[in-house]
């Protein structure tokens, strides 16, 4: 399992960013979570070793 922790700051609350990230993860077959916090949005995304997404 490969795990990435991502933090996005700036104007990302109230603009539909979390639902966008969730839909994109669903389309790519990824698991994890996305949540708002005081600094912006925090994302944890996981994929299997076998599943390749984009360029590495």
Residue spans per domain, the chain: 2-45
**How confident is residue 55, by pLDDT bands cut at 50, 70 and 90?**
low
* Whole-number percent of the chain with pLDDT over 90: 45
Chain mean pLDDT for the chain: 85
44: which residues sit within 8 A by CB, 6+ positions away?
A: 3, 4, 5, 6, 32, 33, 34
Helix (H, G, I), strand (E, B) or coil at 22: helix
pLDDT in tens, 26-48: 999 899 999 988 888 999 999 88
Asked whether the predicted pLDDT for residue 24 surpasses 90, the reply is yes
- Residue 25's closest CA among 14, 15, 34? 34
Q: The pTM is what?
A: 0.74
Q: Count of H helices and E strands in the chain?
A: 1, 3
CATH number of this structure's domain 2-45: 3.30.70.100
């Amino acid at each position: 399992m490969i795990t990435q922790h991502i933090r996005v700051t700036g104007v990302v609350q109230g603009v539909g960013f979390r639902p966008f990230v969730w839909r994109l993860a669903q389309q790519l077959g990824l698991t994890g979570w996305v949540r708002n916090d005081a600094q912006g949005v925090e994302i944890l995304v996981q994929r299997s070793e076998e599943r390749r997404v984009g360029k590495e």
